[in-house]
Amino acid sequence: MKKILIVLMLAVSACAFQTKHRGYVFPDDLETHVAQIKTTAQLQDEIGDPQTRTIYGDEVWVYYSADENMRGPFSVTYSNKTVLLAWVKNGRVLKTKVLHDDDLKDVKMADGETQIPAAIELNALEEMFNNIGRFSPAGLGQ
């Protein structure tokens, strides 16, 4: 009976639930809050610096928030995902858009590796002979 109890306790302890917040902590009324912001200085004061800015096309500041849910031995899931996009120009906020879970597409990662054009594929023997003379002996400091 004691062995069964110990096994059950270990099984239950592996099912712990933990949520970690990732990214920005947005206010509950984010849409109305952001609608009042007119300058980038106000945006930085209210929300903070963006996680990223676009480098091509219109300048867009991107803010991201999500909850990372860990449930014991199961894979990590994300919920309450929110993205704030702010189009800015010359210190002014031109437009904002708030995206939630339903607005975001679920992106699946492809299996395997991406092939590199013109990459040299060597087998183990070729790799071994290719490295001869490349490295200095240990302790010589060269």
What does the block give as tokens for 84? 């704030």
pLDDT of 116-138, one tens digit each? 787 778 888 888 787 777 766 66
Position of tokens 């704030």?
A: 84
Hey, is 58 helix, strand or coil? coil
What was the pLDDT predicted at 60? Answer: 92
Please state the pTM of the whole predicted model.
Answer: 0.61
Closest CA to 46 of 82, 7, 84, 8: 84
Cα distance between residue 122 and residue 116, in whole Å: 14
What does the block give as tokens for 49? 């610096």
Hey, is 98 helix, strand or coil? strand
Closest CA to 77 of 87, 90, 86, 68: 68
Percentage above 90 pLDDT, the chain:
4
pLDDT of 45-59, one tens digit each? 888 899 999 888 889
